[in-house]
Amino acid sequence: MDSPGTYLETNLAPGSAFLESDVAGRQAKRSSNRLLIAALLMVMGLVLIALCVPLLPLQDPIATDYDHMAEPPAAGHLLGTDLHGRDQLSRLLWASRTSLLVGVVAIGLALLAGIIAGGAAAYGGSLVDSFLMRMADIFLSFPIILGAIAIMAVLGPGRRNVFIAIAFFGWPVFARLFRSSVLSVKKLNYIAAARVLGASDARIFFRHVLPNSLTPLVSYGTMAVGGAILAEAGLSFINLGVQRPNPSWGLMLSESMGMFEQSPWLVIPPGVAITVTVLIFILLGDAATRALDPFNSGPETR
């Protein structure tokens, strides 16, 4: 018994999007599906661009040309050139591959590790559970950036180590999410029913527990990709990520640090590129959360 909205016995109960009379609920469901489709299209667009970059008629992103340093956008160089005479546009587009790759792979690794750890914790009995969760706590106690820096300082810079660093500190969250998800799904009645009907543990896990436990991971995962992209950019910015002369948005920004006034074309495009890419992933994560939530509670209120 709560305030007006829930205090009353109304027919705006969870799942009401399926009731005939709930117009607003159905509208909300439609618009959240539309949002999801839009976000998916945008992500696919990004991936497509990144994949097609080698096929485009672009200049060599690492070819230097000291006769044309830091030139503003012109016919030959649509986004100008940087301090080493390299074509900005080409570097910008090639860098998208790095960012997307790091984002997806690092989070993919973290997700995998998280699912394994979380699953083990949920099924392995209380000793395994406590041990794994303590480990997760320790990792969680590190602010990711600091931890990534420590790892990079020791492993050495470079793109491959960025994957490891991000995954290293990313897995605990997924492990926790998955574990609590699995634990609550395990308690649901239809699992017990399946067991009564004779299904083996493995079958139950793969057909019932796993698919239903993945929902929170999907929504967190997509946003985490955005976070990983930001992390890669940050690490490259402080020269611990992708190394010169390879293109990375973060690196491009660090090279043009004091030069906003003279050469804005060096600063704005990479910054905007990062922001837009991350925004798209945030949008996807938000849309996925809303669409996957079966209890799409009616009109937006409160």
Partner 1 sequence: MNETLLRVLDLTVTHRNTVNSRPAVNRVSFDLSQGSTLGIVGESGAGKSSLALALMGLHDSRRVQVSGSLLFRNTDLLKLSEEEYCRVRGAGLGMIFQDSTGALDPSMRVEDQLAAAIRMHADPGRQKSRELARSRLSEVGITKDILDGAPYAYQLSGGLCQRAMIAMALACDPDVLIADEPTSSLDVTLQSQIIALLTARQKETGLAIVFISHDLALVSLFADDVLVLHKGETVEQGKCSEVLANPGHPYTRSLISAWITGYPQGDAAVAPA
Partner 2 sequence: MPPNRFILHRLLQMLVVLIGTVTVLFLVIYLMVPGDAAQVALGDHATPEALDTLRHELGLDQPLWKQYGIYFSRLAHLDLGTSYELKRSVGSIILDHLPATIYLTVAALILETVFGIGWGMLLTLRRSRRLRAISLATGALLLALPVFFLGLVLQYIFASRLGILPISGTGGWNPLNLILPAVTLAAAQTAIIAAVSRSSLSAEMEKSYILAARARGLTRSQAMWRHAFRNSFAPVATLLAIDFGTLLGGAMITEIVFSWPGLGRMTYFAAESRDVPLVVGSVLVLVTIFVIVNTGVDIIYGWLDPRVRAGEGVNG
- Catalog residues that contact partner 1 under the rule CB under 8 A: 1-5, 7-12, 20-25, 298-299, 301
Tokens found for residue 33: 């599906």
Taking residues 210 to 239 in sequence order and writing x for each that binds partner 2 by CB under 8 A, - otherwise, the string is ----------------x---x--xx--xxx
Q: How far is the CB of 291 from partner 1 (least distance, A)?
A: 21
**What single-letter DSSP state applies at residue 256?**
T
Which range binds partner 2 by CB under 8 A, 65-73, 116-124, 153-161, 184-192?
153-161
Q: How far is CA 270 from CA 140, 254, 255, 276, 284, in A?
A: 30, 10, 11, 10, 21
- Considering beta carbons, is residue 126 or 301 the nearer one to partner 1? 301
Is 285:216 a contact under the CB 8 Å cutoff? Answer: no
The item of partner 1, partner 2, none sharing an interface with residue 260, based on CB under 5 to 8 Å by kind, is partner 2
Q: Which of residues 100-139 bind partner 2 (CB under 8 A)?
A: 134-135, 137-138
Region of 6 please: left (phi>0), alpha (psi -120 to 50) or beta: alpha
- Considering beta carbons, is residue 9 or 67 the nearer one to partner 1? 9
- Considering beta carbons, is residue 97 or 208 the nearer one to partner 2? 97
Pick from 208, 230, 221, 210: nearest CA to 289:
221
265 in contact with partner 2 (CB under 8 A): no
The one among 3, 21, 126, 189 contacting partner 2 by CB under 8 A: 3
DSSP H or E stretch at residue 25: helix 23-52
Which range binds partner 2 by CB under 8 A, 110-118, 204-212, 253-261, 289-297?
253-261
Q: Look up tokens 């009616």; give the residue.
A: 298
Q: What interhelical angle do 88-123 and 23-52 show, nearest 10?
A: 120
CB-based burial of residue 32 (10 Å sphere; 0-12 exposed, 13-18 middle, 19+ buried)?
Answer: buried
- Considering beta carbons, is residue 221 or 250 the nearer one to partner 2? 250
Within a 13 Å sphere around the CA of 113, how many CA atoms are in the beta-carbon half? Answer: 18
- Considering beta carbons, is residue 6 or 262 the nearer one to partner 1? 6
Which range binds partner 2 by CB under 8 A, 53-61, 201-209, 276-284, 287-295?
276-284
Q: Look up tokens 């395990």; give the residue.
A: 186
The item of partner 1, partner 2, none sharing an interface with residue 172, based on CB under 5 to 8 Å by kind, is none
Angle CA(93)–CA(91)–CA(149) in degrees, nearest 5? 100
DSSP state letters, 252-281? HHHHTTT-TTT-HHHHHHHHHHHHHHHHHH
146 in contact with partner 2 (CB under 8 A): yes
The one among 267, 287, 288, 291 contacting partner 2 by CB under 8 A: 267
Q: By the criterion CB under 8 A, which residues form the site for partner 2?
A: 1-7, 134-135, 137-138, 141-147, 149-156, 226, 230, 233-234, 237-240, 250, 253-254, 257, 260-261, 267, 270-271, 274-279, 282-283, 286, 300-302
